Amino acid sequence: MTDNEGGSDGDFHGRQFQLLGAAMYRSFRCLWMLEELQIPYKYIPAQPQGQSIKSVNPLGKVPALIETHPSSSRPFCMYESAAINTYLGDMAYTLAPPTGRERLVPPPGTHLRGLYEQTVSCIITELDAQALWIHRKHHDMGQYFGHIPEAVQTAKDHFIRVNKVLAAQLHTNGGQYLVGQSFTAADILYVHCLGWSIAIGWHDGWQDDAKLQDYVRRCRQREAYQKVAAIRDREKAAFQEKAKM
């Protein structure tokens, strides 16, 4: 529902949203969440460490969410993809309870919410920050942070260990979703990280897990994922074309 993609450019109970970022990176997670929730938003492409993103997130990282409301003189700004998605899930359900659709963030104070928070924290701190990001930092961006093959190998070993725990959680839950019996924002984070692992060749540790493979395929078949994947692919093609010049 991005206005630059031809979707609705209305508001959401008086609130208007902008998502700054790049679909090639973690911004994909928030774009996917916004599409799942069917919240009208404006997508503003922004690269990490650019001036536009630094005006919202002093750390210079993408994504960032900007929310405006007629009753407030100042916009509400957020960064960190997992925090943005949890906020959007709670906010959307409070303002417009879904009819016949999944609740993407379980209700506060429930066991499911506790499991959701635990799962999200594990994905962000263990799978992402201590594994996948180390690869990007000391392999893909080694010219800035230093090429450290030993750190990258240790990170891969950590990814494999943590992913076995998350895969076991999926299996114990019936192989459909990570939390409860329906799709949640935790699945958005996990599928994005698994896709990241495929891109860097780290899927050798889980490619023989039929249930996990089926889970990824099923989540990627969702309409919201497909819309954002198309945005990402166009951005990637434009980036590669620019690199040739």
- For every one of its 245 residues, what pLDDT tens digit does the chain have, with 9 covering 90 and above? 455 443 344 578 899 999 999 999 999 999 999 999 999 999 999 999 999 999 999 999 999 999 999 888 999 999 999 999 999 999 998 887 766 677 999 999 999 999 999 999 999 999 999 999 999 999 999 999 999 999 999 999 999 999 999 999 999 999 899 999 999 999 999 999 999 999 999 999 899 999 999 999 999 999 999 999 999 999 999 988 877 77
Q: Which residues, 6 or more positions from 230, have their beta carbon under 8 angstroms from its beta carbon?
A: none
Round the CA-based radius of gyration of the chain to a whole number and report it.
18
Rounded CA-CA distance 12/60 in Å is 27
pLDDT of residue 239: 85
Rounded CA-CA distance 140/41 in Å is 31
Q: Which residues, 6 or more positions from 52, have their beta carbon under 8 angstroms from its beta carbon?
A: 20, 44, 46
Q: What angle (nearest 5°) sits at the alpha carbon of residue 25, between those of residues 82 and 147?
A: 110
pLDDT of residue 7: 37
Rounded CA-CA distance 42/45 in Å is 10
Length of the chain: 245
pLDDT of residue 188: 98
Q: What angle (nearest 5°) sits at the alpha carbon of residue 236, between those of residues 233 and 242?
A: 145
pLDDT of residue 9: 46
Q: What angle (nearest 5°) sits at the alpha carbon of residue 158, between those of residues 220 and 172?
A: 55
Q: Where does residue 46 rank: exposed (0-12), middle (13-18), buried (19+ CB within 10 A)? A: buried
Quick one: how far is CA 237 from the chain centroid? Answer: 20
Token look-up 């379980």 returns 106
Quick one: how far is CA 209 from the chain centroid? Answer: 23
pLDDT of residue 3: 54
CB 34 within 8 A of CB 62: no
Closest by CA to 127, choosing from 26, 244, 56, 230, is 26
Classify 173 as helix, strand or coil: coil
Rounded CA-CA distance 219/199 in Å is 17
pLDDT of residue 100: 66
Residue type, 153: Q
Cis amide prior to 63 (ω within 30 degrees): yes
DSSP state of 107: P
Residue type, 202: W
